Chains A and B, each alone.
Chain A
Amino acid sequence: MSYIVSPDVVKYACTCGLLKPISCLYFCRYCCELRCGFCVCHEVDSHFCGKCCENLPSSEARLKKNRCGNCYICPCCQQELSTRIGSKGPSNPEDPKSTPKKMYYLSCLYCRWSSRDVGIPDQGAATGGWPERENVHANRLQEVIEGYKAFITAQRQQKEREKKKQRGKFISYTDRTGVTAAALRKRIGLPAEVPNTYYRNRPKPPEVAIAREEVEDFPEDLLTKALNLMEITTIDQRLLQPDLQPTTVDKLFPIHKQLSIKRSLRCRSCEHNVSKPEYNPNSVKFKIQLFAYYHIPEVRIVTVEPLRAGKTAELILKFTNPTQHQTVITFLPLDLTDKGGDGDREVVGETQSLNLPEKQPPSLGGQPSSLLSLSSRQPSITIKPRPIRQATNCSIAIPGSKVILPPRDDAAEYDDSGETHNIQDDTKLVVWRKSNKAFVKLAVTPDDGLELNTEIVAGFTMQHIYTNTIATTVENKEPDRHDHNVRVFLSLGNLVGSE
């Protein structure tokens, strides 16, 4: 997302220790923690083609090698190719008055490459039917793939058999019902003992590839003939078709467009989604979008006085409350050793996720392994917070008073009455406020003895009251309000010399 405050001058520390601008962060409402792209689980929701917007099930996508069957991209410049109509003579050669026959060819509107350039015959139908080129090594590849597939199956079978032998000491599910595997086998007329299939069906390894000793002769004309760079493909063009790697432009052929994915992101410690897109490829909306931008007060730098080593400068920050609930911002000194706002996680996240397996009565221990694995899918991972590697070289005078931010009111944008929420502000701290925004004045002092042009980074811990509407239970109708700490880092610019 290209964000309005594009240079990332204000960064928030994610729970995992990475610093990110607010637009790149998520906020898990269940753990009350910031999450970034590196500390969530990425899951593929659906495969779709970005050109024709067709949804493909993942099995079909795999079968088609993650490419769309109908859409092509330009082998020359990698833009999408469009089908164009080119009439070609009358449909009935004897009758010159008959309507001209419509012929279709592929054309790139960007670099003007067309399927006619490489001599692909025009097609009579608009949808596909374009000749597919066979990979010369297709047979060999298939042979190798099949060889390895057989190898994997054999290995898996062997592992399962070993597991079965171990499990034999305990009462198995089938034993309870009286239907044992051996009894079943007898009933359908198979020998009771399973022979060792691994040794019997040991896969035939694919034929070993042998390197050739003789090499092609060096083409003399490489040295004598003038090189026409327009006939030679670029590295990008070659790598686009790894199976052929054409060296000259007359061997460039249309390439099936690669599919795109929609993915959902899952909090790793509580397994709730922090982002889930709508299934329809035409939709750019989300079903779940727990972006930090909607939950955490946004900090922006308004002005900062020229920074000089050891001299105090005035810094004005703008705080915006994005939520529907009033919040109070408290400034705390930056503590890099502390885990920040991790206190809540132990209470909310860990217990919730750990409770799940415990609730099951222990007597169910003998249930089939498939069911067990379903319930404990992806066990909760305790993410150890990493230390923050960002050093600060500027101190911020932490003000004692707090800043109240009223809830966001979309209608307030159009309200010129200048209604102030009757908030008694510390006028030394809050210099301006309107609806859910406030300008706050802080004093910053770059460290003494810094060299000129050093980038000045300051940091503080922003404590805000987060109102969690999700945790409201039946007996507790009041929304859950608690403090949440976020460590904010500000890049204030470079150090300048004395006047």
Chain B
Amino acid sequence: MSRNSIKILPGALVCEESKLRGDITIGAGTIIHPSATILAEAGPIIIGDCCLIEEQAKIIHRLPFDEQDTEKTPVLIIGAHNVFEVDCHVESPKIGNCNVFESKCFVGNKVTVTNGCTVGAGCKVTEEQILKENVIIFGEKCQMREGLDRPGLQTLQMETLSKVLPNYHHIRKPNKKN
């Protein structure tokens, strides 16, 4: 894989133990926990502002098998205020704003996520599709329903984390000016 090029904007909190590979840009206010994994295999990943990427979460930018031979290097853009909960696995080619990927969910690389979506704990979404705004996927059978509005922001949790995490972990220094 190509060399690592990690750009961290000021205000982002990226723990040193997190596994970041490839060309990754991390927006202001984003928190990345120690053992989160972000792999930019197929092309660069740009993570927006105020995302929360928890322990064991995996964000992998990988092309589907049938597109792997093409020359293009697509960019994975992840919007703002997304929450990647513990041990989720997201390979989506495009992610909007304010989405929640709950614990141990799996989102395949043919699923485009728009805004305000919730993928419930343990749900697996692999079929090629575009998740409409405010869609909630939940339960054993991955039932889908449309929410009234976006899931609430994790502001309080992120405030606490930005105070606590630097006390116990080495933090990567921001290396990019706004």
A residues adjacent to B (C-beta < 8 A): 76-77, 110-114, 116-117, 229-231, 234, 249
Residues of B within 8 A of A230 (CB): 135, 144-146
Partner of B138, one of A110, A234, A249: A110
Q: Say yes or no: A234 contacts B143, CB within 8 Å.
A: yes
CB of B44 to closest CB in A, whole Å: 32
Q: Which residues of chain B from 146 to 171 have any CB-CB distance to chain A below 8 Å in the complex?
A: 146-148, 151
Partner of B120, one of A111, A116, A231, A249: A111
CB of B157 to closest CB in A, whole Å: 15
CB of A74 to closest CB in B, whole Å: 10
Q: A110-B120, A111-B120 are in contact. Are A116 and B139 (CB under 8 A)?
A: no
A111 CA to B136 CA, complexed, in Å? 7
Residue in B closest to A249 when the chains form the complex, CB atoms:
B145
Residues of B within 8 A of A234 (CB): 143
Q: Say yes or no: A111 contacts B145, CB within 8 Å.
A: yes
Q: Say yes or no: A112 contacts B143, CB within 8 Å.
A: no
Q: Say yes or no: B136 contacts A112, CB within 8 Å.
A: yes
A304 CA to B22 CA, complexed, in Å? 52
Residues of A within 8 A of B135 (CB): 230
B118 within 8 Å of A by Cβ? yes
Partner of B148, one of A110, A111, A117: A117
A249 CA to B147 CA, complexed, in Å? 11
A112 CA to B121 CA, complexed, in Å? 12
CB of A78 to closest CB in B, whole Å: 9
A52 CA to B16 CA, complexed, in Å? 44
- A interface, over-half SS: loop
Q: A111-B138, A112-B138 are in contact. Are A76 and B120 (CB under 8 A)?
A: no
Residues of chain B at interface, number, CB under 8 A? 13
Residues of A within 8 A of B138 (CB): 77, 110-112
- A-B contacts, 22 of them at CB < 8 A, read A76-B145, A77-B138, A77-B143, A110-B120, A110-B139, A111-B120, A111-B136, A111-B139, A111-B143, A111-B145, A112-B118, A112-B136, A113-B145, A117-B147, A117-B148, A229-B144, A230-B144, A230-B145, A230-B146, A231-B146, A234-B143, A249-B145
A76 CA to B141 CA, complexed, in Å? 13
Q: Say yes or no: A112 contacts B139, CB within 8 Å.
A: no
B residues adjacent to A (C-beta < 8 A): 118, 120, 135-136, 138-139, 143-148, 151
Residue in B closest to A76 when the chains form the complex, CB atoms:
B145
Residues of A within 8 A of B118 (CB): 112
A249 CA to B146 CA, complexed, in Å? 10
Residue in A closest to B121 when the chains form the complex, CB atoms:
A110
Residues of B within 8 A of A113 (CB): 145
A114 CA to B134 CA, complexed, in Å? 14
Residue in A closest to B139 when the chains form the complex, CB atoms:
A77
Residues of A within 8 A of B146 (CB): 230-231
Q: A77-B138, A77-B139 are in contact. Are A114 and B145 (CB under 8 A)?
A: no
Residue in B closest to A117 when the chains form the complex, CB atoms:
B148
CB of B5 to closest CB in A, whole Å: 37
| Residue among B135, B138, B139, B145 having the largest count of chain A Cβ atoms under 10 Å | B145
Residues of A within 8 A of B139 (CB): 77, 110-111
Residue in B closest to A108 when the chains form the complex, CB atoms:
B138
The 9 closest A-B pairs by CB, nearest first: A111-B138, A230-B146, A117-B148, A112-B136, A230-B145, A230-B144, A77-B139, A112-B147, A116-B148
Residue in B closest to A119 when the chains form the complex, CB atoms:
B148
CB of B134 to closest CB in A, whole Å: 9
CB of B113 to closest CB in A, whole Å: 16
CB of A109 to closest CB in B, whole Å: 10
CB of B122 to closest CB in A, whole Å: 11
Residues of A within 8 A of B143 (CB): 77, 111, 234
Residues of A within 8 A of B151 (CB): 112
Residues of B within 8 A of A77 (CB): 138-139, 143
Residues of B within 8 A of A116 (CB): 148
A117 CA to B144 CA, complexed, in Å? 15
A129 CA to B139 CA, complexed, in Å? 29
Residues of B within 8 A of A229 (CB): 144
Known: A110-B120, A117-B147. 15 other contacts (CB 8 A): A76-B145, A77-B138, A77-B139, A77-B143, A111-B138, A111-B143, A112-B136, A112-B147, A112-B151, A113-B145, A114-B148, A229-B144, A230-B135, A230-B146, A249-B145
A355 CA to B144 CA, complexed, in Å? 64
CB of A238 to closest CB in B, whole Å: 14
| Residue among A112, A113, A229 having the largest count of chain B Cβ atoms under 10 Å | A112
A112 CA to B135 CA, complexed, in Å? 10
Residues of B within 8 A of A112 (CB): 118, 136, 138, 147, 151
CB of B131 to closest CB in A, whole Å: 11
A229 CA to B143 CA, complexed, in Å? 10
A231 CA to B135 CA, complexed, in Å? 12
A230 CA to B129 CA, complexed, in Å? 15
A229 CA to B138 CA, complexed, in Å? 15
| Residue among B143, B146, B147, B151 having the largest count of chain A Cβ atoms under 10 Å | B143
A234 CA to B136 CA, complexed, in Å? 15
Residues of B within 8 A of A110 (CB): 120, 138-139
A113 CA to B145 CA, complexed, in Å? 9
A416 CA to B50 CA, complexed, in Å? 56
A76 CA to B118 CA, complexed, in Å? 15
| Residue among A111, A114, A229, A231 having the largest count of chain B Cβ atoms under 10 Å | A111
CB of A113 to closest CB in B, whole Å: 7
